[in-house]
């Protein structure tokens, strides 16, 4: 079965520019997650979708980050405007559904460098 | 708030020797516990989980983990380490009594297996 797909794999932008990341989850997975992983740290959840509805976005910096999953399948995460501290790997993951015992499957990530 | 502690930044072990990567957690409800492995420039890969049942959980690549409720620990173990096990390992917890509760990761432990 195909895994979680993400693009681009790498992105370099200047501060104050905007950037968007794309994720296509495993087919049939209802739940989709975006994580931010800063170098040397564990992933931190930014937003969680169940189908096309937001379940948890409490850690998403909403003044500059936005995410959508319009048709309940693929998703985009946007940063506008970017700051230096946004340099990180952005991971997308998906799981079969609720309840919370299901494991998550991760994509390869997008490494963002903000200069 | 829930949390995960991985007290060792790095664990060094000789090939063929047993390995242990430590994890302790804090969560208000019923703990659902997970181990993930991350190879360079790749996303996280699921190893094993504890949801309920037998305290000793077996997972991929010969890894196992033991859930200890009294010590709030979920240490990852393998009887005989391989050089190819060298990677970054993450422990994670979520509150099983709260559907949709986010997965919280530890800071990661780098495992180095030397020939």
The count of CB pairs under 8 A between chains A and B is: 65
Q: How far is B23 from B72, CA to CA, in rounded Å? A: 9
Is B62's Cβ below 8 Å from some Cβ in A?
no
A residues 91-110 lying closer than 8 A (beta carbon) to B: 91, 93, 98-101, 103-109
Nearest to A23 by CA among A65, A88, A75: A75
A48-88 per-position pLDDT tens digit: 999 889 988 999 999 999 999 988 899 999 999 999 999 99
Residue B42 has what DSSP assignment? Answer: S
Among A76-90, B35-49, B81-95, the minimum mean pLDDT is found in B35-49
Which residue in A4, A6, A2 sits closest to A22, CA to CA? Answer: A6
pLDDT tens digits along B93-112 = 998 887 667 889 999 999 99
């Amino acid at each position: 079965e195909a895994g979680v797909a993400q693009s681009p794999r790498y992105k370099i932008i200047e501060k104050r520019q905007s950037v968007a990341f794309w994720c296509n989850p495993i087919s049939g997975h209802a739940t989709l997650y975006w994580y931010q992983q800063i170098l040397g740290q564990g992933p931190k959840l930014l937003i969680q979708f169940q189908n096309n509805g937001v379940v948890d976005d409490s850690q998403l910096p909403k003044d500059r980050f936005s995410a959508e999953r319009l048709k309940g399948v693929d998703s985009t995460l946007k940063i506008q405007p970017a700051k230096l501290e946004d340099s990180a790997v952005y991971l997308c993951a998906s799981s079969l559904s609720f309840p919370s015992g299901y494991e998550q499957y991760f994509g390869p990530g997008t490494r963002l460098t903000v200069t | 708030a829930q949390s995960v502690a991985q007290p060792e930044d790095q664990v060094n072990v000789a090939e063929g020797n047993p390995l242990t990567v430590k994890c302790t957690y804090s969560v208000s409800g019923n703990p659902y516990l997970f181990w993930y492995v991350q190879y360079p420039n790749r996303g996280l890969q699921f190893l094993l989980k504890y949801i309920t049942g037998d305290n000793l959980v077996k997972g991929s690549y010969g890894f196992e983990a033991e859930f200890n409720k009294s010590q709030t620990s979920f240490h990852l173990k393998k009887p005989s380490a391989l050089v190819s096990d060298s990677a970054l390992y993450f422990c994670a917890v979520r509150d099983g009594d709260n559907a949709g509760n986010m997965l919280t990761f530890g800071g990661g432990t780098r495992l180095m297996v030397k020939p």
